[in-house]
Structures are given as C-alpha cells and as structure tokens.
Amino acid sequence: MGAGKSTIGAEVAKLLGRPFVDLDREIEARTGASVAQIFEERGESGFRALEAEVAAEELGHAALSVLALGGGAVETEAVRQALTDRAATVLLEVEPDAAWERSRGKKRPLARDEASFRSLYERRQPLYAQVAGGRARDADGVVLAAGGVVVEPGAFSRLAEVVEGPAELVSDARVLELHPPSLALQTPPHVLRSGEEAKTIETVARLWRELRLDRGGTLVALGGGCVTDAAGFAAATYLRGIDWVAVPTTLVGQVDAAIGGKTAVNLPEGKNLVGAFHWPASTVIDPELLATLPAEQRLEGMAEVVKTGLLAGEQLWELPDAELVRRSAAFKTALCLRDPYDRGLRQTLNLGHTFAHALEAGAEYETITHGRAVALGLLAALRLSGRPTDAVEETLAPEPARVDRERAWQALKRDKKSTGGELRVVLLGDEGGYAASAPEADVRRALGELIAD
C-alpha cells in the first residue's frame, strides 16, 4: 500500500503502449462495491478469493498489459504462481514511513493503525522478494526491470550475482586490462579484435568453434557495441540459442547497442546485414565504467545520446553521466519492449542510421567511426525533416567525411529498412520519430551533403 502503483503503473502503460489495469479498481467495477465494502461484507478471506479470481483472469489474457496488484495479492499462493508463470513482476519499492503517510486516513481496511500497518509491511517483504524479478522506484525503473536491464553505479562489481551457472566470457584485450571481471569461467576469455573488426562472420565462426557451453550455459559479452553485437549473435546461433549477458563498457553500448536484443555482423556489402533478435537474459550497465573512456570514444556515444534525446524530446545530452545513461537506456528499453522485432515503432531508433551505415560502407569501415557517421546521419535526417540541426552541430560538431560516393549510395539503397524497392528513412516530427518513404533524389542529395569533395 502507498507505493504509488496506480500512478506509476499508468505511466508505465503509456510508455509501453499497453492497457493499464488496476486490480482493485477492476474488482470494484465488477462488483459495484468498494474494496472497503467488500472487506466488511466478505472479510479479508472473501476479498482474497475474489482478488485471486480476477488476477488469474487478467494474467491469463493473451494481450499484454500493465497490471497493478493490490499490496496483499501476493499472500495468495495461486496469485504468486500465476505471477511466476505469466508475468514480468516488478516490486515498486517504498519506505514504510512514506507508505504509511500515503495510506493513513484513506479508508484502507488494512491501514487503520500504524503498528499493524508496519507489521503487515514486514510480513509481506519475503513474499514480494519471492515473486519479483526486479525492483524499481519510478516508471523508468519499472521499464528497465521489465526489460532485464540493470543501470546502477557499481553494478559491475556485483556481476557474479547476475551470472549464475557455467559461463564463458567474450571481450577485447583493452577492456579486459581495464575491467577484469570477477567471474567463475569455464574457459579463458575469448578475445576479439577491437571495433568493427570484431563483427565478421569469421570472428563468430571462431567463437562457435571455441565455445564449450551446453544449453544451460551463459555467454557474457563485456565491451563496446561491436563486442556485444558479435557475442550476442554467437549466443543466438550456438546450439540454436543460449543465454547471454551484455555488459557494455562504452557510452554507445550503455545507451544503445547492448539494449534490446539486436545482434549482428557486417558484410562487405553493408553493415549489420546478418543478425538475429536475441534478448539478453540481463544487461548490466555500470556508468562508473565510463571513467576510463577516452574523450573521442565518449563523443562517439554522445551521437546516440543526442539521437535518443531528439526522439524523446528531451535534452538528455546535458544530464550528468549516471542520469544520462539511465534515461537513454529506459527510453530505448521501452521502445524495444513495445516492438521487440523492429516491425514498427522501434524503427524510429534508426534516426540518422540509414545514412550512417551508408557512410561506413562507403569508407569500407576504415576511415569513419560509427559515432561520427551517426552524427552526420542525424544532420541528413533532420534536414530532410525540416528540423533545426543545432543540437547535433553544437554537441557533436561533425565534419563531412571522405568516402566513396557511389559505394555509399549503393549501400544505402540496400539498407535493410528499405522495402519493395522504396527508400525508407526515419524522420523527426513533433511527436517524435517516424519511418517514411522519401524521394530518391532528396535522399541522394542529403547523403551527398555529408561527403567531402
């Protein structure tokens, strides 16, 4: 009681684009009586039986929703089992003092005196811990917990609490030197080359041959977006799919690449053309790891932060690191939960990326970094959208790139977001991003403005 489930639950439902059901209000609507009246007429046991019946029905729906349970629902074993079987359950945490102040005098049947209220609070804690797959204090926290994403300073030091059972580690040499994890591993770490050189079929084939995990094992990917992309794809395909845990160490990885289960490798013809959707069992994000990030690598990640801020309509790039990472990660997690297979709304996360990937292919992945390409791609997308480019120019200061124009154009036409021969790009409107077909001449001109003569 008093945790704010009704208020925050409605906010989460809006973020995830799902119906919101407040179980107590649903019970009142069905019976025509208030919770207090039902307690008075049927007693607590009668109310719990009715609550369990309605909860089972709501949890049994095929359609996804956000359900706020009454504080005592978990005292019924059938409800606890249904939550385990049917739901991603998040405990909305609240201190007992705050819960009591919010609940007192509200005609709540079980909040009539402080002593019994506090006793009830303590009695229920083990039950909450039993059913909760995550904990949160606000809407962003609920979204992150529902997506299996942990964003917390110091989380890296507790990695062993997340990775249970047999595990193998994939990383690169520099990251292992800076951030050696405390994990019990079955084999020595699998060391990949840094950057885009990690994202090749040859690299993944080597991983397939070296892995000794069975289907109960976990592959841990520690590093930047290229490491998590390649390792995640290896996990998606090895033994037809094993669990993996993403531990991003770069700003790009923490705000974008390691979230949402997109895994891929590159081909000479284009970026991320071979991949799979394979959501990590957990994504562990520790903003403190960014302290070792060189300035140029931070700027790479800021391109994704600016992109996210433009889509969210918030100046996320101006926030301190811990909050910047958390807000960006929560925004992406929400979109990915709404559209896990990139068939609709999630495509807006590609704002600027159609152009960026074309530039990278035009440079044969050698003379332009991903972050610089995204910064340029954002300029093109904003220009096509008729939107100001100040945020990109002031924060990222991108300069035109020297790449092969024709190679870049051919890569853009082959982009995986294009359908039926139509060029599709993500544009920015008043309500956020949207995918749209664009005239070939306009797209080609926008791409050309990004390329140095």
Angle between helices 295-312 and 370-385 (to 10 degrees): 30
Which pLDDT score, from 0 to 100, does residue 111 have? 87
Cβ count within 10 A of residue 60: 10
Helices of type H across 247-365: 251-252, 295-312, 321-338, 353-362
What number of CA atoms fall less than 13 Å from residue 107's CA on the CB side? 7
Q: In a 10 Å sphere around its CB, with 0-12 CB exposed, 13-18 middle and 19+ buried, how is residue 197 labelled? A: middle
Which pLDDT score, from 0 to 100, does residue 422 have? 73
Mean pLDDT of 368-385: 96
DSSP run (H or E) holding 162? helix 159-162
Which pLDDT score, from 0 to 100, does residue 417 have? 56
The dihedral built from the CA positions of residue 302, 315, 356 and 347, taken in this order, carries a sign that is: positive
Domains and CATH numbers, the chain: 5-138 (3.40.50.300), 150-293 (3.40.50.1970), 295-453 (1.20.1090.10)
Whether 329 shows a pLDDT value over 90: the answer reads: yes
Beta-bridge partner residues of 134: 90
CA–CA gap between residue 331 and residue 260 (Å, rounded):
11
CA–CA gap between residue 64 and residue 224 (Å, rounded):
32
The answer to whether 280 and 261 are in contact (CB under 8 A) is: yes
Q: What is the pLDDT of residues 107-152, one digit of tens each?
A: 788 888 999 999 999 999 999 999 999 999 999 999 999 999 999 9
> In percent, how much of the chain has pLDDT > 70?
99
In 3D space, the residue among 227, 276, 218 whose CA is nearest the CA of residue 247 turns out to be 227
Q: In a 10 Å sphere around its CB, with 0-12 CB exposed, 13-18 middle and 19+ buried, how is residue 452 labelled? A: exposed
Q: Which two tokens stand for residue 122?
A: 């303590």
Please report, as a single letter, which amino acid is at residue 183. Answer: L
Q: What band does 419 get if pLDDT is binned at 50, 70 and 90?
A: low
Mean pLDDT of 24-40: 95
Q: What is the pLDDT of residues 273-325, one digit of tens each?
A: 899 999 999 999 999 999 999 999 999 999 999 999 999 999 999 999 999 99
CA–CA gap between residue 261 and residue 249 (Å, rounded):
17
Average pLDDT, the chain: 94
Running DSSP on this structure, what letter comes out for residue 206? H
Alpha-carbon dihedral 98, 102, 105, 108, rounded to 10 degrees? -100
Which pLDDT score, from 0 to 100, does residue 269 have? 78
Whether 418 shows a pLDDT value over 70: the answer reads: no
Helices of type H across 179-320: 201-210, 225-237, 251-252, 295-312
Reduce the DSSP state of residue 250 to 3 states and report it. coil
The answer to whether 341 and 277 are in contact (CB under 8 A) is: yes
CA–CA gap between residue 333 and residue 255 (Å, rounded):
10
Angle between helices 321-338 and 295-312 (to 10 degrees): 50
Angle at 363 between CA 362 and CA 365, to 5 degrees: 115
Which pLDDT score, from 0 to 100, does residue 74 have? 94
Reduce the DSSP state of residue 118 to 3 states and report it. helix
Measured in whole angstroms, the distance separating CA 121 from the mean position of its chain's CA atoms is 31
> In percent, how much of the chain has pLDDT > 90?
88
Beta-bridge partner residues of 264: 275
The answer to whether 71 and 109 are in contact (CB under 8 A) is: no
Q: Produce one character per residue of 142-158: b if its CB has 16 or more CB atoms within 10 Å, e if not.
A: bbbbbbbbbbeeebbee
Q: What is the pLDDT of residues 160-176, one digit of tens each?
A: 999 989 999 999 999 99
Mean pLDDT of 378-399: 97
Whether 193 shows a pLDDT value over 70: the answer reads: yes
* Prediction pTM value: 0.92
CA–CA gap between residue 225 and residue 195 (Å, rounded):
8
The DSSP bridge pattern shows strands 282-285 and 167-172 to be unpaired
Which pLDDT score, from 0 to 100, does residue 414 have? 82
Whether 423 shows a pLDDT value over 70: the answer reads: yes
Whether 155 shows a pLDDT value over 80: the answer reads: yes
